[in-house]
Amino acid sequence: MERLPDTEEAVTDRDVRFDYRGDGTAEEVLRWALEKFHPNIAVACSFQHAVLIDMAVKIRPDVRVFSIDTGRLPEDTYECARDIECRFGVKIEWYFPRHKAVEEMMHRNGPLSFRESLDARRECCAIRKVEPLNRALSGLDAWITGVRREQNVTRATVAKIEIDDAHGGIVKLNPLSDWSYDRIRSYVREHRLPYNTLFEKGYTSIGCACCTRAVKPGEDSRAGRWWWEHPEYKECGLHARNWQI
């Protein structure tokens, strides 16, 4: 069986679903996955740019796209979501946190508890992001993310095709894992794609408004996420392998 060089670590013989024989480009990985898993596959989009959706709709115009509204997203992110729906004709499947869990956390800890400790920040991410993600993935056989290796030390070894043990062993595709930030920007420009306008204000990675800031010249692309934390902790749990809600 031929495999992508960078999938070998993640793929073992127990994964009989892996019959990938493409050339390893982002488009080729997407084509294989969408042909194999649709409609039980969806793109997870946080509305930073539309590179993956642009590639996916050319393969399957009815590709499924979902997103998690944490309740604390920046306005620019909703504008990007609207632009993507208009441009590609996709209908975004939104997932929200359980309101009771958010209310209890806010009553107990206040509105900015996530800045007080790593545990408090992880609790907020678990309630607002991880739990809705678990619901979004239930029933899916595979999901597609925009995770890239250069984003942070926590992502340096991600493969293009993985088994997601944190979510029941479904397949996780990271087709852009070997792309640089500059390559993303070039693709967006070349194809005139919708993108999050916070990029024009110095942001290089965008999450919740209260936990994201613009980066300074020379800083890592995720330096503006939870900027008060060490880089090795900069994961919200959506892609972390070693902790969950």
Token readout for 236 is: 């919200």
CB-wise, 15 or 69, nearer to ligand SF4?
A: 69
Q: Is 124 in the site for ligand SF4 (CB under 6 A)?
A: yes
Q: Is 70 in the site for ligand SF4 (CB under 6 A)?
A: yes
Peptide bond into 39 cis (omega under 30): yes
CA angle 136, 142, 147 (to 5 degrees): 85
Q: Catalytic residue at 211?
A: no
Strand order in the sheet with 170-173: 92-95, 64-68, 41-44, 142-144, 170-173, 161-164
Token readout for 29 is: 């990985």
Query: At 30, is the secondary structure helix, strand, or coil?
Result: helix
One DSSP character per residue, 70-106 reads -S---HHHHHHHHHHHHHH---EEEE---HHHHHHHH
Q: Least distance from C-beta 208 to ligand SF4, angstroms?
A: 3
The single residue among 36, 38, 60, 72 that binds ligand SF4, judged by CB under 6 A, is 72
The single residue among 208, 215, 223, 238 that binds ligand SF4, judged by CB under 6 A, is 208
The residue annotated as part of the active site, out of 45, 80, 208, 236, is 236
Stretch that binds ligand SF4, among 44-52, 56-64, 123-131, 164-172 (CB under 6 A): 123-131
CB-wise, 64 or 128, nearer to ligand SF4?
A: 128
Question: Site residues for ligand SF4, window 129-148 (CB under 6 A)?
Answer: 129
Stretch that binds ligand SF4, among 26-34, 118-126, 138-146, 190-198 (CB under 6 A): 118-126
Residue 102: partners with Cβ closer than 8 Å, 6 or more residues away: 71, 127, 128
Q: Is 128 in the site for ligand SF4 (CB under 6 A)?
A: yes
CB-wise, 121 or 172, nearer to ligand SF4?
A: 121
CA angle 176, 177, 182 (to 5 degrees): 65
Q: Is 240 in the site for ligand SF4 (CB under 6 A)?
A: no
Q: Least distance from C-beta 94 to ligand SF4, angstroms?
A: 15
Q: Least distance from C-beta 75 to ligand SF4, angstroms?
A: 15
Q: Least distance from C-beta 129 to ligand SF4, angstroms?
A: 5
Catalytic residue set: 236
Q: Which residues bind ligand SF4 (CB under 6 A)?
A: 70, 72, 114, 121, 124-125, 128-129, 207-208, 210-211, 236
